[in-house]
Chains A and B, each alone.
Chain A
Amino acid sequence: MIVAMTDTIDASASVTRTARRTARRGDGESQPRSAVIDVRIDEGDPLLEFLRTAPGPLEIVALPAYSPAVARMREQGVRIVVPLVTSGELVGLVALGPRLSERTYSRTDRRLLDSLARYAAPALRLGQLMREQEAEARERERIEQELHVAQLIQQQFLPAELPELGGWHVAAFYRPARTVGGDFYDIIELADGRIMVVAGDVTDKGVPAALVMASTHALLRSTAAVSASPGATLRRVNDLLIPQIPLNMFVTCLVMVIDVETGRTQFANAGHNLPFVRRGDEVIRLEARGMPLGLMPGSRYDEIETVIEPGDIVLLYSDGITEQHDAAGEMFGFDRTRELVAGSASGDELVDRSVQALGAFAAGVEQEDDITLVTLHRGRTGGYQDTVSFTVPSEIGNEREIMDRVAAIVDDALPAIRLESLKTAVSETAMNAIEHGNHALPELDVAVTVRRSAEAVSVDIADYGRGRQHEAETPDLDLKLAGLQTPRGWGLFLVEQLADRVEEFADGDRHVVRLVMRTREGEAS
């Protein structure tokens, strides 16, 4: 209410004459003809309710004398108050001092004031609303702009493609919160052939978090080039980060170094969520102690060694999953996360089920923080994976050739109906690559890579475009039949519906769409 009254002061100023001026009249021509009357009415002042239901211009003596605002106005020589009321809401008031002629206000004056108030009140309300909306829109735009920048910074540092690790399957999922937290993950191939898996989370959100994430990521990468020890890596990154990190921020980070041949793994942890490992019917947690990065100079980190056995699934996850609340205010928590690990037969399935479970849990609630999931699944059979690649010129109709060739490569890996689904998804994606990505220029080729593993078939379709042509709207048959949507626009819809998973990423100057189908039908979601 006080805010609304701020407008009242402005509004009244332009139509106010004060008694003080009368007294000064003889002082010279430069004297103001009007001055601002303080008509501030505090919340809780009974005058508010009185004015809201008042019938029109009121003598100051007719107002409740116990109101502090009335007392103030009296002191300032106010004679008449005209409430500006519209739709039952008091949006301002006009306060007038004595007439310049020093006569009392006439009936005509009052009528005039009354109709002025009638016209002015809705106009003033409209002006107030527009000003509020403009201010809100400016603020929203500023926030959106900042979020966009934060997202750009962050996505720059997430791996565009997960490496092929002999016999291991890596799956990752990252979804930023609207406010963009500071999650990151990376998989770094070390000089000795082992891999370093990193997952981290910067406290705080938005651009500041994204910037700290970027420098932490750079420090991790450069340190990994000279040290293959997770504990030493964290110690060094901490010492380098301390001088540059803002006081109120820190970074949690988990580092694992894995020999993919033997499964031998060293890991160290700087306050990040401890990874779960599914081993047979058991779920264990890899424990290691250490302070988050950027808090204390000289922090040391436990380095623990373990072996990831064939068939094991490791889950790295950010607190965006465990600390997400549901509509009733309950947290998702570690127990639910552990159950998901226990119930998943593959890394892909664990990612899919986690995303689904979290979505169902937090239905109707905004995602509070970034969500990052990385699974490492060590295959039982070693490095079994077939890869076949081919290219096709971008000529219209060649999507069928791509479809037929992919089908020939994977036809014994999928049940018939799922093979048909993949074929349609491939042909639609290939058509998009030919027509939109490569503008049907035959000298540009579409590159196709088909991978088969025991778990899944994946098909990468790469063009030179800048991303899929996203249809503006979800196709809706009712709207189409009513002529409110074009009959077209089914391509991406079919792809999304028919493939188990669709990923998009950049690979050099290529844009890649990856379609994934799990080989075991029972695991289809």
Chain B
Amino acid sequence: MSLAFEVGRRGSAATIRLTGRIDRDAGTVLEQAYTAAIAGTPSAVELDFVDVEYINSTGIALIVSLLARARAQGLPIRAAGLTPHYRHIFEITRLSDFIEIVQPIA
């Protein structure tokens, strides 16, 4: 398994701490993580990328799908713990226009 997750809570927001790689094998895990995160009807979902070592174009596509789903449900998505490189990729793909980028959780 290339990706693992852990769902938590921060205030009214759900957090998904991701560990590993977001690439072609990550689809199911991301799906499970998201479903688990919204079970508690949170006000927002925060993806924590601090332990993500690799995201490729397929991973970006998976994040786009997740974002589309959250937007359909009116649920804001935030991203924490992105390295400068992946923050740059979020910017050039314009994901950062739709996902608020926040500082990693201490």
Measured CB to CB, the residues of A under 8 A from B are: 396, 399-400, 417, 420-421, 424, 427-428, 431, 475, 477, 480-481, 483, 486-491, 493-494, 497-498
Contact = CB atoms under 8 A, between A and B. Distances in A.
B10 interface: no
A443 to B, nearest CB: 22
Contact of B65 (A396, A420, A487): A487
15 contacts: A421-B85, A424-B56, A427-B56, A428-B57, A475-B93, A477-B98, A481-B64, A481-B67, A481-B71, A481-B98, A487-B62, A487-B64, A488-B61, A491-B57, A494-B60
Nearest to B86: A420
Given A421-B85, A490-B61, A477 B97 contact: yes
B61 A487 contact: yes
Interface of B: 21, 24, 54, 56-58, 60-62, 64-65, 67-68, 71, 83-85, 88-89, 92-95, 97-98
Contact of A421 (B56, B58, B62, B88): B88
Contacts of B65: 487
A441 to B, nearest CB: 18
A420 B93 contact: no
A486 B58 CA distance: 11
- Mostly helix, strand, loop or mixed at chain A's interface? helix
Contacts of B54: 400, 427
Given A420-B85, A431-B56, A481 B68 contact: yes
A470 to B, nearest CB: 14
A428 B61 CA distance: 13
A475 B94 CA distance: 10
Contacts of A493: 57, 92-93
B88 A477 contact: no
Contacts of B67: 481
B60 A490 contact: yes
Given A490-B60, A490-B61, A494-B57, A477 B85 contact: no
Contacts of B61: 486-490
Nearest to A396: B24
Contact of A490 (B24, B85, B93): B93
Contacts of B21: 400
A427 B58 CA distance: 11
A420 B89 CA distance: 11
A497 B60 CA distance: 15
A477 B95 contact: yes
Contacts of A490: 57, 60-61, 93
B79 to A, nearest CB: 14
B68 A487 contact: yes
B57 to A, nearest CB: 4
A477 B65 CA distance: 11
A428 B92 CA distance: 15
A477 B57 contact: no
A461 B81 CA distance: 32
Contacts of A431: 56-57
Contact of A488 (B58, B84, B85): B58
Contacts of B95: 477
Closest 8 CB pairs of A and B: A420-B85, A490-B57, A491-B57, A487-B64, A488-B61, A487-B61, A477-B94, A487-B65
Contacts of A396: 24
B11 to A, nearest CB: 26
Nearest to A492: B57
A486 B64 CA distance: 10
Contacts of A480: 64, 68
